[in-house]
Amino acid sequence: MNLKGRVGLFGGTFNPLHNAHLEVARAALHQYELSGITFIPNGIPPHKERVLDGDKEGRFEMVRLAVESNPKFEISRIEVDREGPSYTIDTIRALKDDYPQGICFIVGADRLLKLDTWKEPHELLRSVPFIIAPRSGVSLDVFDVSPFREAVIVPLQMEDVDLSSSDLRERIQRGESIREWVPEEVAKYIEEHGYYRKRGLERPSPTS
């Protein structure tokens, strides 16, 4: 399927945003000739037991700082400002009319495999094309079965994404630097605000 000119919606907890997130966005932008990427930090990811004060605003700010210098990247507050849990299908429905050029959704292969935990999974599969980022241990063959055959799913040609936000949070808790794996602006923000050192920001949910 030709995705040229569409806008790629890239949702996630981004807790914190790291270099692999940006690599995935850049790969999607260029490989499928998208017109831009819209990062959508989750407000309250489904099934979280609690949300710490400042959680979503802090994550939003880290993404904003990381993408503001790229004219092809933008950030949306749609889920941050939404009351209650953030569901991908609701976001797609709300944004479709804002992008007459068309949209697609960017997601890691491991997250898409958990589709049965998402709200209205079959409707979601039919709603937009999916660009999937490879993850170590997840073969693309697993998507050649029902219900994924209902969707348009195309892969990114890039190295498997092994970097995770949870690993970075654990490094910070051990007193280690993460500057090697996050944009400079994000590293500074985390250090200045003391995120993840003790209680940190909320651990991300595996569902969307």
- pLDDT for 44 equals 83
In tens, the pLDDT along 104-134 reads 999 999 999 999 999 999 999 999 999 999 9
* 207 part of a folded domain: no
On whether the CB atoms of residues 14 and 21 are closer than 8 A, the answer is yes
DSSP states of 58-71 as a string?
Answer: HHHHHHHHHHTT-T
Q: What is the number of other CB atoms lying within 10 angstroms of the CB of residue 103?
A: 20
* 175 part of a folded domain: yes
Q: Is 106 helix (H, G, I), strand (E, B) or coil?
A: strand
* 205 part of a folded domain: no
Q: Which tokens is 22 given?
A: 């940006």
On whether the CB atoms of residues 62 and 190 are closer than 8 A, the answer is yes
pTM of the model: 0.91
* 74 part of a folded domain: yes
Q: Which tokens is 90 given?
A: 């609701």
Instruction: Indicate the number of domains in the chain.
Output: 1
* 1 part of a folded domain: no
Q: Is 138 helix (H, G, I), strand (E, B) or coil?
A: coil
Q: Which tokens is 204 given?
A: 């991300």
* 202 part of a folded domain: no
In tens, the pLDDT along 176-199 reads 999 999 999 999 999 999 999 875
Q: What is the number of other CB atoms lying within 10 angstroms of the CB of residue 69?
A: 9
Distance of CA 22 to the CA centre of its chain: 10
* 203 part of a folded domain: no
For residue 27, what are the domain limits? 7-193
Helix (H) or strand (E) holding 36, with range, is strand 36-41
* 125 part of a folded domain: yes
CA atoms within 13 A on the CB side of 2: 3
Report which of residues 82 and 198 the model is more confident about: 82
Query: How sure is the predictor about 206, in pLDDT bands with cuts at 50, 70 and 90?
Result: very low
User: b vs e for 156-180, b when ≥16 Cβ sit within 10 Å of the residue's Cβ?
Assistant: beeeebeebbeebbeebeeeeebee
In Å, the largest CA–CA distance within the chain is: 47
Provide mean pLDDT across the span 33-54: 76
On whether the CB atoms of residues 60 and 68 are closer than 8 A, the answer is no
Query: What's 121's domain CATH number?
Result: 3.40.50.620
